[in-house]
Every structure is written in structure tokens, then in C-alpha cells.
């Protein structure tokens, strides 16, 4: 990393602050490490608290998105001002008592408490205690930042899953809405059919009554037999229509009940959809903030010896495929040419060897590759006399450190 020391470290190196001692006053919000400001706002304060803070400070939040509100609060930490003071008071009100207890611990015990809390997922007080502790070593700060940073990657994956679930929920809701419309149309058709059956039943009853009246005035036997047969036919028709009407009524009642259940299910899915949208927006803002902070603490300027890779070709083998865009941004922003191979050797080793031969630097994360791929990269590096760096993990900070060491070595040679 280049020029990533905190303001407190700089002040200590210049003699403006004494060496860190147990019992020192905790750091204010505007004094904490710059890379921690974004995670502190996103993790330690709820969206409702963020809006309330800005309102109390006289800052208008009308028509501002949650991301813009988040950015205003992060920007306030650049100096002591009305907003940063209110943020600091709220954080100490929420976590100050726990932080004071943790500040009294030795650093080794404190880090142990941090790890235990982080594993449970309930680590917000410990996180504020860490960033506001004035005597925390640089190694401990880096360890805590990496843990928070990688948890943001996990949240990004969770957001991707949420988006997939959101799409499925939308499809399910659309299908249920289509079925509801079909049921409504079927219900109307049934109602029309029921009305028609009622009219036919009324006409049959009228014909039966007329036949009974007519029969009493016809003494001729053949006519009487014909009337009796007609009467029996009308009675059967009457019973059939009554049974059909009862069945159609029962079917209509069942479809009404099903329609009610589908309507309730659609309402529930709509509520879940809104919740997923809110969670997705929050996760996206947090991931973007964490990545932006990470790139800020790793950014070099023209005065830095690692500013430009001088168009060196950097090959990364394996890692996480979905981080390829982040690897590319890191390499190309430093002036290098990015090459990537996913580490799979199903198509043979020739493709990997061709890329390695034209590369100047080869980076291979061990935990993102098979043993066969790692061994092949080492052997090809020896064969073609290429510098190969085997990394313990696939994080951006690990890749950045390799590039920094390479450029530092190049500068010392010059």
C-alpha cells in the first residue's frame, strides 16, 4: 500500500501526539482512520438514525437517496463540525460504555474479544471500540479492516442471491396474478351459467304446472298417458337442473375461497418484494462504500515509486472469477496490462503456458486453485524464468501488496 497511514499515526510520527498509552482518550469520529469511516456509518448507525442526525444538524434530506445520506455523513468526518460532532455523540451514547471497557484491555486480549464477537455476527460495539482506540497497532487495524472488507464481499454475494430471489418472487407474483385473473374470469362465467340454469329451472317448473292443469281437463286415456310421461320427463329435468345448480354453486364457492387465498399470498409476496428491495439497496451501498474506501487507501500519486507498472503484463491465475473485474481495475489503474486465467485445466495446460510466457508478473492465490494448477504454475515459472508469487488468499489487498513489493524492488534496482 502507498501513503495509507492514518492522521493519528502521522501526528505521532511528527511528535504532535505522545506514544500510545493505555487509558488515552478515545478517538473522535473525525480522528479515526479514513478507511473505517464508511463502514462505521453503514454498520454502526441505522438508516433512521442517519436521517435523524442530519435533520438535527440542520441539513436537508429532502429528495436525497439513502446512498446520498450515507455519503454526507462519511464526508463530515474530514473535520470537526456540527455533523461529525453529533455522529460522535450518538456513537458514544450507543457504544461508549462497552468501548471504554474494551479500551482497558491489552491489545492481544482485545483482538481475541474482537474475533469472538465477529464470529457470532454481533460485533458492532467491538468494531467501534477498535476504530476509536488510540493505541491500536497498525497490524491490528489492518486485520480488522480486512475482516470487515471481506464480509462486504460476502454481503455482495448475498445481494446477488437476493436479486435472484427477487426475480423469482416477481415471476411467482406475476404467475399468481395471472391465475387470479383466470379465476375471476371463470367465476364470472360460472355466475352467468348459474343464472341461465335458474331461468331454465323456472321455465321447467312453469311447464310442469301447466301440464298438471291441462291433465285435469283431458279425460281421454291416450292423452292422459302422454301427459304422465311428459310430467315424468319434466320432473327428471327439474331434478337434473337442481343437481347441476347445486354443483355449480359449490364449485363457485370453492373458487371464491381459492381466489381469496391467492390474493392473500400475492399481498405477502409484495411485502417480501419490498423488503428484498430495501435489503438489496442497503447491501449495494455498503459494498460500494467498502470498495471505494479500499481503493482510496491503496491509491498512489505521481510522487509514489509504485505509481506506474510501466505497462507490465500481470497474470492472475485462479482466485474468484467474479472478482476478475476488481482485479482488472486494480492492475490497470496502476498502469499495468491485465491477464486472467481461471485456473481450470480441463482444456490442457497449453493455454495457461502461452499466457504465462508473455507475462511479466504471475500471481497465483493458493486457496483459489487446485494443487495441480499451483504446481503447474510454479513449474512453468521456473521453465520460462518468470517471477511467480504464490498468495495465501485471493483478496485485493494481497494482490496489491505483491504489486507494491514488485515496484519497490524495481525502484531499488534503479
Residue 179 and residue 58 share a domain = no
The whole-number pLDDT of residue 93 equals: 94
To which H or E segment does residue 338 belong? strand 337-341
Higher pLDDT: 225 or 260? It is 260
Q: Which domain holds residue 216?
A: 159-280
When pLDDT is cut at 50, 70 and 90, the band that residue 14 belongs to is very low
DSSP letter for 1, please: -
Degrees to nearest 5, angle at CA 315 with 312 and 318 = 160
The whole-number pLDDT of residue 154 equals: 60
Answer yes or no: is 293 within a domain.
no
Residue 171 and residue 131 share a domain = no
Which 3 state secondary structure label does DSSP give 390?
strand
Measuring CA to CA, which residue among 414, 161, 410 is closest to residue 308?
410
Tell me the C-alpha distance between 268 and 14, whole Å. Answer: 60
Mean pLDDT for 250-279 is 82
The whole-number pLDDT of residue 213 equals: 53
Q: Is the dihedral of CA 297, 300, 305, 306 positive or negative?
A: positive
Cell of 252: 363457485
Residue 64 and residue 118 share a domain = yes
Higher pLDDT: 411 or 314? It is 314
Residue 113 and residue 229 share a domain = no
Answer yes or no: is 32 within a domain.
yes
C-alpha distance from residue 97 to each of 91, 125, 313, 339 (Å)? 10, 9, 52, 50
Where does a domain end: 233, 257, 280? 280
Answer yes or no: is 305 within a domain.
no
Residue with C-alpha cell 474494551?
102
DSSP letter for 293, please: H
Residue with C-alpha cell 418472487?
169
Cell of 158: 448475498
Burial of 57 (0-12, 13-18, 19+ CB in 10 A): middle
Answer yes or no: is 73 within a domain.
yes
Mean pLDDT for 120-135 is 90
Tell me the C-alpha distance between 359 and 314, whole Å. Answer: 6
Residue 69 and residue 174 share a domain = no
Structural domains of the chain, count: 3
Higher pLDDT: 234 or 358? It is 358
The whole-number pLDDT of residue 201 equals: 74
Higher pLDDT: 309 or 249? It is 249
When pLDDT is cut at 50, 70 and 90, the band that residue 199 belongs to is confident
Measuring CA to CA, which residue among 123, 115, 74, 80 is closest to residue 99?
123
Answer yes or no: is 354 within a domain.
yes
Residue 77 and residue 21 share a domain = yes
Higher pLDDT: 40 or 223? It is 40
Cell of 108: 492481544
Residue 213 and residue 175 share a domain = yes
Helix H, strand E, coil C: the string for 116-149 is: HHHHHCCCHHHHHHHHCCCCCCHHHHHHHHHHHH
- 405 pLDDT more than 50: yes
DSSP letter for 25, please: P
Residue with C-alpha cell 500510545?
20
Mean pLDDT for 129-150 is 87
Tell me the C-alpha distance between 285 and 243, whole Å. Answer: 63
Average pLDDT of every residue of the chain: 77
Cell of 325: 473485474
Tell me the C-alpha distance between 325 and 344, whole Å. Answer: 18
Amino acid at each position: 500500500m502507498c501513503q495509507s497511514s492514518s492522521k493519528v499515526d502521522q501526528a505521532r510520527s511528527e511528535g504532535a501526539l505522545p506514544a500510545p498509552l493505555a487509558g488515552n482518550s478515545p478517538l473522535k469520529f473525525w480522528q479515526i482512520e479514513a478507511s473505517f469511516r464508511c463502514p462505521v456509518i453503514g454498520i454502526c448507525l441505522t438508516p433512521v438514525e442517519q436521517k435523524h442526525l442530519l435533520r438535527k444538524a440542520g441539513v436537508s434530506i429532502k429528495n436525497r437517496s439513502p446512498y446520498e445520506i450515507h455519503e454526507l455523513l462519511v464526508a463530515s468526518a474530514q473535520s470537526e463540525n456540527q455533523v461529525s460532532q453529533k455522529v460522535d455523540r450518538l456513537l458514544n451514547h450507543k457504544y461508549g460504555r462497552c468501548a471504554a471497557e474494551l479500551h482497558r484491555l491489552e491489545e492481544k486480549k482485545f483482538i481475541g474479544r474482537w474475533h469472538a464477537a465477529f464470529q457470532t455476527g454481533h460485533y458492532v460495539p467491538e468494531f467501534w471500540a477498535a476504530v476509536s482506540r488510540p493505541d491500536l497497532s497498525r497490524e491490528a487495524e489492518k486485520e480488522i479492516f480486512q475482516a470487515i472488507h471481506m464480509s462486504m464481499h460476502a454481503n455482495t454475494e448475498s445481494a446477488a442471491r437476493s436479486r435472484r430471489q427477487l426475480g423469482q418472487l416477481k415471476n411467482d407474483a406475476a404467475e399468481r396474478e395471472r391465475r387470479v385473473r383466470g379465476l375471476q374470469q371463470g367465476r364470472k362465467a360460472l355466475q352467468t351459467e348459474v343464472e341461465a340454469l335458474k331461468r331454465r329451472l323456472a321455465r321447467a317448473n312453469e311447464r310442469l304446472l301447466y301440464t298438471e292443469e291441462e291433465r285435469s281437463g283431458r279425460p281421454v286415456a291416450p292423452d292422459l298417458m302422454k301427459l304422465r310421461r311428459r310430467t315424468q320427463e319434466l320432473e327428471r329435468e327439474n331434478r337434473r337442473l337442481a343437481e347441476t345448480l347445486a354443483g355449480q354453486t359449490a364449485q363457485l364457492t370453492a373458487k371464491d375461497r381459492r381466489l381469496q387465498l391467492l390474493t392473500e399470498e400475492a399481498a405477502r409476496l409484495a411485502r417480501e418484494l419490498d423488503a428484498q428491495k430495501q435489503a438489496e439497496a442497503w447491501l449495494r451501498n455498503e459494498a460500494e462504500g467498502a470498495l471505494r474506501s479500499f481503493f482510496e487507501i491503496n491509491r498512489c500519486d505521481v510522487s509514489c515509486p509504485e505509481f506506474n507498472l510501466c505497462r507490465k503484463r500481470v497474470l492472475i491465475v485462479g482466485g474468484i472469477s467474479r472478482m476478475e473485474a476488481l482485479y482488472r481495475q486494480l492492475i490497470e489503474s496502476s498502469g499495468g496490462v491485465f491477464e486472467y486465467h481461471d485456473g481450470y485445466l480441463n482444456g490442457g495446460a497449453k493455454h495457461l503456458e502461452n499466457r504465462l510466457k508473455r507475462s511479466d508478473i504471475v500471481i497465483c492465490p493458493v486457496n483459489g486453485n487446485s494443487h495441480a494448477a499451483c504446481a503447474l504454475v510454479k513449474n512453468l515459472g521456473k521453465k520460462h524464468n518468470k517471477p511467480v508469487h504464490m498468495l495465501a488468499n485471493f483478496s485485493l489487498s494481497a494482490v496489491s501488496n505483491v504489486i507494491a513489493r514488485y515496484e519497490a524492488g524495481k525502484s531499488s534496482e534503479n
